[in-house]
Amino acid sequence: MKILENISLASQTTLGIGGPARWFVEATSEAEIAEACAWARERDVPLFVLGGGSNVLVADAGFGGLALHVAIKGMKLQGMELGGMELEGELLSAAAGEVWDDCVEQALGANCAGLECLAGIPGTVGGTPVQNVGAYGQEVASVIERVRAFDRAAQQFVEFANAECGFAYRKSRFNTADRGRYVVTRVDYRLRQNGAPTLIYAELKAHFSGREKTPSLLEVAEAVRGIRKSKGMILVEGDPDCRSAGSFFQNPSVAPEVAERVKQIAAGVPMRMFPAEGGLVKIPAAWLIEQADFRKGYTLGAAGISSRHTLALVNRGGARAGDILALAEKIRAAVEARFGIRLEMEPEMVGF
- Active-site annotation, residues: 170, 247, 346
How far apart CA 150 and CA 329 sit, in angstroms, is 35
Contacts of 238 (CB under 8 A, 6+ apart): none
Q: Does residue 19 contact residue 58 with C-beta atoms inside 8 Å?
A: yes
Q: Which candidate, 140, 182, 139, places its Cα nearest to that of 157? A: 182
- Asked if residues 342 and 321 have their Cβ atoms less than 8 Å apart, the reply is no
End-to-end CA distance of the chain: give it in Å, rounded: 27
C-alpha span between 117 and 115 (Å, rounded): 6
* Paired strand residues for 305: 313
What are the DSSP calls for 220-234, one per residue? HHHHHHHHHHHTT-S
* Residues 189, 112: Cα–Cα separation, whole Å: 10
CA 47 remoteness from chain centre: 20
Check if the beta carbon of residue 38 is closer than 8 Å to that of residue 155.
yes
